[in-house]
Amino acid sequence: MKVAIITDLHFGARNDNISFLDYYEKFYKKTFFPTLEKHGIDTILNLGDTFDRRKFINFNTLKRSREMFFDPIRDGGYTMHMLAGNHDTYYKNTNEVNSVDLLLKEYDSITVYDDPTEIVIDETKIAFMPWICAENYQDSMTFMQNTQAEICMGHFEIDGFVMHRGVKSHGGLAKKEFEKFDMVFSGHYHHRSNNGQIYYLGNPYELTWSDFNDPRGFHIFDTDTRQLEFIQNPNTMFKRIEYDDTKYDFDEFDVLECQNKYVRVVVAQKTDFYKFDTFLKRVYNNSPLDVKIIEDFSEFTEGELGEEINLEDTMDILNTYIDSVDTNVDKEEVKVFMRTLYNEAVNKTS
């Protein structure tokens, strides 16, 4: 039997930004539910952090999330088993008060789990584990030790896995706590990664610039073959453009790629100011949500970047190092590339 696994939906993220809600809706309407229908899937496993804010809900966000996700589950005859994640719980030390339990009681086809539970999907036992906090820690550990389930699904903080690209977790549960299970699936970290046994499934869509160019989506799991298939979200929220008019004619650039997106233009080489301005006008005329141009530091007043950051000094060091390397690579091209990366790193915003 095939089931859909999705996690970290974060309805209400980015301060309940309507553009992000539109982005979510496009995913559910055009990718998620059509894929379930195509594969004949009627069971959904949701591994937590359905709502973004722990303390309250924005009414428009609640309305939109019902219309795009919860109502189609009810009306389409789907069944959903869902966990309480850390963003769903009001208190940090207990799962007793949580948004998914309080807000979704009217949906008979949705079952919320805020205590460790063994569920059975097509004769497959699954240890279903909500967020582990101070109150339920010992019960959760005892439950995992005693369960006969070979598969575990939860909203875990496990040491050594990548939270965001380039950033590993330090702390949380040790991997050895899960050695008895054949497979472990978890929400919580938004970057997809695995060690062959423990799988962090990632969230369905981009939320910040740190998610750029990092595939997002959901998974289909076959309980018979234990095959896990990733279904990528084809839609993105962030667009990075490296502007170098010595390599590419930007009159040919398809600015429709910028529509309804956050755009970052990183200027590597700009030899024709008129063409650059014309390009930017075309970008702005195609309704981007925001455009940030990363070129120099003239927008910063003295001291804003901190005394330890100095573009000229840093680039001098980088250029000197590049000049000292014995290589057949075009060093001037490497210098331009390094300057581009440095400008973007110092100007980085989420």
In tens, the pLDDT along 6-55 reads: 999 999 999 999 999 999 999 999 999 999 999 999 999 999 999 999 99
Sequence-distant (≥ 6) Cβ neighbours of residue 308 within 8 angstroms: none
What was the pLDDT predicted at 301? 45
Question: How many residues are present in the chain?
Answer: 350
Residue 262: pLDDT band with limits 50, 70, 90? very high
Residue 7: count other Cβ atoms within 10 Å of its Cβ: 30
What was the pLDDT predicted at 345? 73
What was the pLDDT predicted at 206? 97
Looking at domain 2-232, does it have CATH number 3.60.21.10?
Answer: yes
Tell me which H or E stretch contains 6: strand 2-6
CA distance 161 to 252: 41
Residue 114: pLDDT band with limits 50, 70, 90? very high
What was the pLDDT predicted at 260? 96
Q: Three-class SS string for 102-144?
A: HHCCCCCCEEEECCCEEEEECCEEEEEECCCCCCCHHHHHHHH
> What is the arithmetic mean of pLDDT over 228-232?
98
Q: pLDDT, tens digit, for every residue of 322-346? A: 766 667 787 777 877 887 787 777 6
What are the two backbone dihedrals, phi and then psi, of residue 80, each rounded to the nearest 5 degrees? Answer: -125, 130
User: Which residues lie across from 269 on neighbouring strands?
Assistant: 244
Residue 232: count other Cβ atoms within 10 Å of its Cβ: 11
What was the pLDDT predicted at 60? 98
Q: Does the pLDDT at position 221 exceed 90?
A: yes
Work out the percent of the chain whose per-residue pLDDT is above 90.
Answer: 81
Selection from 177, 201, 182 nearest residue 190 by Cα: 201
Question: Which region holds residue 237: left if phi is over 0, alpha if psi is between -120 and 50, else beta?
Answer: alpha
Range with lowest mean pLDDT among 67-76, 82-91, 107-116, 293-302: 293-302
